[in-house]
Amino acid sequence: MLVQAICASLLSWTVLGNAQQKFLGNQRSYAEDLFTPLEDLSAVSQTGFTTLSHPEFPRYSLRLKESTDFCDNTVKSYTGYIDIEARHLFFYFFESRNDPDTDDVIFWTNGGPGGSSSMGLFMELGPCRVSDANGTKFHPESWNSNANIFFIDQPVGVGFSYAGHGETVSTTEDAAKDVAAFVAIFFAHFSKFQGRAFHMAGESYGGRYIPVFASEVYDQNAKLVEAGMVPINLTSIMIGNGLTDFFSMTAAYYEVACTPVSVEPILSIATCVRMKQVLPRCEKMLKESCVDIFDAISCRSASLFCDSELAQPVMASGKNPYDISRDCDGTLQDTICYPMTKRIAAYLDRPEIRAQLGVDPSIKDPFPPYSVAVNSAFTANLDEYRPTQHYVAALLERGVRALIYVGKNDWICNHVGNEAWTRALEWTGHAEFSGEPLRAWNVSGVQAGMTRSAQGLTFATIEGAGHMVPYDKPKESLEMVNRWLRGEPL
């Protein structure tokens, strides 16, 4: 479904401690006998790639280089590829501006599916923003203010990631295996990060990616311990304006477009009346074909019907579906309603920037902020119709905290749908969480939004923000993240 396709705590220290004790008490494993970690990022080359591998992951390797000065010269930064035989995922890594030797580690991915995390880096929460095609500007509200952070172009075909021999990835579950292996190899080589709190974050389709990726990392820990490796201290997940439960989101499209829950209604009365009449039929079709049972043919038919009746009127309105308080600047196809995406692409097309980043020379095409081919592959597999919220529940049951934050002006992955699924979520904290009233949360004495929290799950809205909260409200989003990293309530 096109519109949704565009849309895109702590590990119990008792459990982690037991795992680490088991690790320390084990005899040397076969992996340890063959493995020599690089230990420190200072050993990474500044001119070419340093290649890392691990015997427990024979199909995977990691090549990276120091690439400091292309974005934030106050910290060290690194770029490179996760190589999985013929598949190659590009990533950026920035050390914390505060204390890289003790601060937490954040993993970030944009959504789509098909969206490059370069958008998150250069437009939203990264250490710099692209002011024009000629360079970048220091971003004071970057999330690396108090954390080390990764930005990853995934799956293959997104951004600077690429593949040979016709290799593709077209499901979130397959993408999760590559991400989990990368995380394990990185932490195994750079021992100063071992045991450090690790947070997996993303937005939009990241609402599907992050719960599945984090679950794969968590489940992989048992294998790491068995192999004599230190487990990953998966502490939390953070999802911004996410598509986690497609059913709740679809049901909310009418309410956000036709009632003043975000801004004043943006569609005509006649259009809203038709949407209101269609909504019960749409919900019935989706529930019967995509939720209660999964019938691919019927689910696809239901999604096409609901898209044409509930989504297309908004897409044809001229409003920015990512922020319905504004008109679309440009077109969805050309600028995604944000001309800054064009400037980022122009900056990343400069040959000297690509050389500095270590972009593979085989990549000749202009930089794509968004891959239509990847999006189409995931859409063909109906990937977004999987029950992703159950992964969130499972992580919460295992002591992994979850922050679900939403800019209130977003329509495409809106606050109404996200609040609905968090309140309906089936887990042992359901009664307490759903019974909590929303309360205001403030930044510098000014109300930033509303929030509800219980037993590790937090839902928060951000006033005046659209789909990309760090872009619209950088100060508020950074304060939110810093409180979350410190384990403080909003």
Residues marked active site are found at 204, 410, 467
409-443 burial code (b ≥16 CB/10 A, e <16):
bbbbbbbbbbbbbbeebebeebeebeeeeeeebeb
148 beta partners: 105
* Half-sphere exposure at residue 128, Cβ-oriented, CA atoms within 13 angstroms: 20
- Relative orientation angle of helices 206-226 and 13-25, to the nearest 10 degrees: 40
* Among the listed residues 197, 138, 147, 202, the one whose alpha carbon sits nearest the alpha carbon of residue 172: 202
Cα–Cα dist 331/170, whole Å: 26
CB 462 within 8 A of CB 405: yes
Maximum Cα interatomic distance, the chain, rounded to a whole number of Å? 72
- For the chain, the distance separating the N- and C-terminal CA atoms, rounded to the nearest angstrom, is 35
Residue entry with tokens 């979520």:
425
- Relative orientation angle of helices 269-286 and 246-258, to the nearest 10 degrees: 170
**Mind giving me the DSSP string for 245-280?**
-HHHHHHHHHHHHHSTTSSS--S-HHHHHHHHHHHH
Cα–Cα dist 168/174, whole Å: 10
Compute φ and ψ for 451, nearest 5 degrees: -150, 155
Q: How many CB atoms lie within 10 A of CB 269?
A: 9
**Which amino acid is it at 470?**
P
CB 128 within 8 A of CB 138: yes
